[in-house]
Chains A and B, each alone.
Chain A
Amino acid sequence: MSSLRRLAMLILVLVYAAGLAANWLAPAHYAAQFRDAPDAAPSRKFPLGTDAVGRDVLSRLIYGTRVSLVLAPAAAILATMVAGLLGGVAGYLGGGMEAVILRAADLFVSLPWLFLLITVRAMLPLNVPPVESVLVTFLLLGLLGWAGPARVVGATARVIRRQDFVLQARASGSGGFRLLALHVLPNLKPILLAQFWISVPVFILSEANLGFLGLGVGEPVPSWGGLLREIENVQAVAANPWLLAPLALLVVVVGCFHLLTPPEDYSK
């Protein structure tokens, strides 16, 4: 393991550990409002300043890590698994099955999900506790995020199906599930990992956007997506650059995830 990858691993461990130890590490509770210090600049008491209602941003960032860094990867795993299964089967089997699955993926991508999400919100009771709201949000993201990756996986599986080593395996009598499990799926791993890493930041940001529909993570529970909504106002960011702290952390974490991705290539 290179030193860069070791560093990335260390950073991720530290970030996850901070999220899990939020109760002990955070200087204040995420919901505590210091109303005498709204929008405060960084100080010893508030290392990353406070938000508009006087909540300590560092504390919210640490607690938000718990929500975003556990649930966004979980949703990404769900989406990637569904994509791997359907895309892999489509690419491996080809023919009618491939056409059906890929057309279904096309249809899924083209559907107006905004309206579906509005319907889901309408069906959910308004008094959903924040924790359940968080779980529903990320479950939705995971279930809705498979179609794009499935098309990529399907195309890759189709290429693998025609590779020499697959033909050799087939000629040696290997086929069916054995061929899929031992020769095709392992070679899809880099693609699946790439799709997974791409999905994590996308889901973190999607969660923030879902807040607009009354889904998302409800007040006062913090999430990275919610914290990122604070930087929508360009002037506010220009005046208070420390508002970019959640974005900086997101970039670092996603960068670390990418560094840890095995540099394998199925064509090797």
Chain B
Amino acid sequence: MKRRAFLLILACGILCGVVAAATIGPQSGGELRFCVRADPKTFNPILVEEEPGETVRYLTGGVLIRLNRITQELEPELAMSWRVINGGRTIQFELRDGLRYSDGSALAASDVAFTMNTLLDPKLHSITGDMFRTGPGLISAGVTGRNKIEITFPQPVAGLARFFDQVPVVSPRALALAAQPAQMPVAGPYRIEEYKPGSHVLLVRNPYYWKRDAAGHPLPYLDRVRISIQQNRDLEMLRFLRGELDFVVPVDPESFDRLAAHARAEAVDAGSSLDAEFIWFNQVASAPIPAYKKAWFQSQEFRRAISEAINREDICRVVYRKHAVPAAGPVSAANRFWFNSRLKAQPHDPAAALARLKQAGFRTVGGGLQDRQGNPVEFSLITNSGNKTRERMAAMMQQDLAGIGIKLNVVPLDFPSLLERISRSFNYEASMLGFVNVDLDPNGQMNVWVSSAEMHQWNPSQKSPATAWEAEIDRLMLAQSSELGPRKRKALFDRVQEIVWEEAPFVYLVNPNALSAISTRLKNVQPSVLRPQTFWNVERLTLAP
């Protein structure tokens, strides 16, 4: 009798456990821990413009549409459906029923209108809002029915729907409380529980978050996210190896190889990222550098020859330990749609480089290269100090260029001095930096390619294009930004990439791979080359006990 009772209790216990597990969902609970490099400058989702703030916004903001970082396709979030009409000027959304903010208040269609009107307020200078601006005029955002909203722009906006991936819906109350982040209602998977400057941001699960998994379990699975503020990358890695963090991203190639042998960590190479490392020559007419050097830098032949003399394969193999690929141009192969597959990275060919330089009037005298006037070819390359990867690339380029008789002086500078030189005084000859691309669409690079833009680094803020090819790039970029057909836009932007390859205003070096280190405790991670690489699917992440 006792044995029967015991078996019955045991069976009930097992059944209850199974039912409980099914109700709670897969491995619910736990705290995800990782680091950002600095304090978020603001928690106001409309004004965020740097990575730590963007990280918090991604985890707490509810967006209408989300870009799937693996398929690179748009997926419905707060909006059940959307439609772009009126030649790309208007987008219509239909919201889900019963949406709520983290404080329990209802999320209404009027909040979407409020968000868009605030975002595009010129007084706010929102970087997120700038993406939607293709011309003068005001937008109109109006509620057209229950859960329905229509937003009309003064000009067609190419790739309009995709921009909403970065627009969290906010209420007037949320913006009023942005200075008190713990009170700010949000519509994303987490809300801010605590912020200690210089220490951490603690996020907790939003109890009113709308999303559920296929089995009907509420998402997200994890209870908390602790974002530690840690500037020192070595300390971050040590904390990860001690098990205090669940992932580190990005990881430098040196650490990546060491991590591969670590039992508690998985080193993940997600493949070529959207980022690129490159050098460029100062072509600013008023730059305080000798006229003969300006003439070199403005010569397409000179720039192409430098490009040919650099051994990109060696940089990938030696500096990046094979975790990078030679870069062909402004778009990485990771950007599946926009990459111009006809372009190939410039192969290392010092003989061709010398022949090209000789054709342009340069000659070799006593092992060194000289221009027509007999000036020895020597220039300085500035880059940000402390970045060992760039310093090593520079050392390798120094040797490559010495092979064709060019003397390269590498000058690492502190970042403020570097910025001052490349953006104000223009007192430099060549510079090496990297692009951190977060946007797949070429409109995100508008501020680089248009000759009047400040980020047009080789010759910024031009009143009118200095060269015919820059005028052609201007025309193509503006044409693609107002063209709606993806194929036509692609054809236009392909041509931009070809001109950049031919003229080499930026000498692209490598596209580094997206490297991350992930604790073996963290499950359901699908590392992507797009930011946020590791936690883009944060709602479905779980921690093994």
A binds B: yes
Please state if B318 and A214 are interface contacts (CB–CB under 8 Å). Answer: no
Please state if B409 and A126 are interface contacts (CB–CB under 8 Å). Answer: yes
Q: Is A35 an interface residue (CB 8 A)?
A: yes
Please state if A121 and B380 are interface contacts (CB–CB under 8 Å). Answer: no
Please state if B409 and A214 are interface contacts (CB–CB under 8 Å). Answer: no
Q: Within the complex, what minimum Cβ distance (angstroms) separates B120 from chain A?
A: 40
Q: Chain B residues near A219 (CB, 8 Å)?
A: 391, 394-395, 398, 410
A239 vs B255: C-alpha distance in the bound complex, in angstroms?
A: 10
A-side interface size class: 20 to 34
Q: Is A174 an interface residue (CB 8 A)?
A: no
A129 vs B258: C-alpha distance in the bound complex, in angstroms?
A: 37
Q: Is B168 an interface residue (CB 8 A)?
A: no
A31 vs B398: C-alpha distance in the bound complex, in angstroms?
A: 10
Q: Which residue of B lies closest to A219 (CB)?
A: B410
Q: Which residue of B lies closest to A216 (CB)?
A: B412
Q: Is B429 an interface residue (CB 8 A)?
A: yes
* Residue from A38, A39, A234 within 8 A of B238 (CB atoms): A234
User: Given A219-B395, A233-B254, does the pair A128, B409 have CB atoms closer than 8 Å?
Assistant: yes
Prevailing SS type, chain A contact patch = loop
Please state if A118 and B414 are interface contacts (CB–CB under 8 Å). Answer: yes
B-side interface size class: 35 or more
Q: Chain B residues near A128 (CB, 8 Å)?
A: 409
Q: Within the complex, what minimum Cβ distance (angstroms) separates A236 from chain B?
A: 7
Please state if B413 and A213 are interface contacts (CB–CB under 8 Å). Answer: yes
Q: Is B378 an interface residue (CB 8 A)?
A: yes
Q: Is B234 an interface residue (CB 8 A)?
A: yes
Q: Is B385 an interface residue (CB 8 A)?
A: yes
Please state if A38 and B254 are interface contacts (CB–CB under 8 Å). Answer: no
Write out, one digit per residue, whether chain B residues 371-402 have a CB within 8 A of any chain A CB (1) or not (0): 00000001110100110100110111011000
User: Given A127-B378, A234-B234, A235-B258, does the pair A52, B388 have CB atoms closer than 8 Å?
Assistant: yes
* Residue from B396, B399, B413 within 8 A of A214 (CB atoms): B413
* Residue from B399, B409, B412 within 8 A of A129 (CB atoms): B409
A168 vs B176: C-alpha distance in the bound complex, in angstroms?
A: 81
Q: Is B111 an interface residue (CB 8 A)?
A: no
Write out, one digit per residue, whether chain A residues 204-231 have a CB within 8 A of any chain B CB (1) or not (0): 0000000111100011100000000000
Write out, one digit per residue, whether chain A residues 41-52 have a CB within 8 A of any chain B CB (1) or not (0): 000000000001
Write out, one digit per residue, whether chain A residues 14-35 have a CB within 8 A of any chain B CB (1) or not (0): 0000000000000000010101
Q: Chain A residues near B398 (CB, 8 Å)?
A: 31, 219-220
Q: Within the complex, what minimum Cβ distance (angstroms) separates A138 from chain B?
A: 18
Q: Chain A residues near B412 (CB, 8 Å)?
A: 211-212, 214
Q: Is A167 an interface residue (CB 8 A)?
A: no
Write out, one digit per residue, whether chain B residues 394-424 have a CB within 8 A of any chain A CB (1) or not (0): 1110110000000001111110010010000
Q: Within the complex, what minimum Cβ distance (angstroms) separates A121 from chain B?
A: 7
Q: Is B498 an interface residue (CB 8 A)?
A: no
Which residues in window 120-170 of A have CB below 8 A to B?
Answer: 121-122, 126-130
A130 vs B386: C-alpha distance in the bound complex, in angstroms?
A: 19
Please state if B318 and A38 are interface contacts (CB–CB under 8 Å). Answer: yes
A220 vs B254: C-alpha distance in the bound complex, in angstroms?
A: 21
Please state if A35 and B411 are interface contacts (CB–CB under 8 Å). Answer: no
Q: Is B193 an interface residue (CB 8 A)?
A: no
Please state if A214 and B254 are interface contacts (CB–CB under 8 Å). Answer: no
Q: Within the complex, what minimum Cβ distance (angstroms) separates A246 from chain B?
A: 16
Q: Chain A residues near B385 (CB, 8 Å)?
A: 211-214
Q: Chain A residues near B255 (CB, 8 Å)?
A: 235
Write out, one digit per residue, whether chain B residues 207-248 have a CB within 8 A of any chain A CB (1) or not (0): 000000000000000000000000000100110010000000
Q: Chain B residues near A38 (CB, 8 Å)?
A: 318, 321
Write out, one digit per residue, whether chain B residues 314-326 have a CB within 8 A of any chain A CB (1) or not (0): 1001110100000
Q: Chain A residues near B395 (CB, 8 Å)?
A: 33, 53, 219-220
List residues of chain A with CB under 8 Å of any chain B CB: 31, 33, 35, 38-39, 52-54, 118, 121-122, 126-130, 211-214, 218-220, 232-236, 239
A-B contact list, 26 entries, CB within 8 Å = A33-B396, A33-B399, A39-B254, A52-B318, A52-B319, A52-B392, A53-B396, A118-B414, A118-B417, A121-B417, A122-B420, A126-B380, A126-B382, A126-B428, A213-B414, A214-B382, A214-B385, A214-B411, A218-B410, A219-B391, A219-B395, A220-B398, A233-B254, A234-B238, A235-B255, A239-B258
List residues of chain B with CB under 8 Å of any chain A CB: 234, 237-238, 241, 254-255, 258, 314, 317-319, 321, 378-380, 382, 385-386, 388, 391-392, 394-396, 398-399, 409-414, 417, 420, 427-429
Q: A35-B318, A128-B409, A130-B409 are in contact. List 20 more A-B contacts (CB 8 A).
A: A33-B399, A38-B318, A52-B388, A53-B392, A54-B318, A126-B411, A126-B427, A127-B379, A211-B412, A213-B413, A214-B385, A214-B411, A219-B398, A219-B410, A234-B238, A235-B238, A235-B241, A235-B255, A236-B254, A239-B258
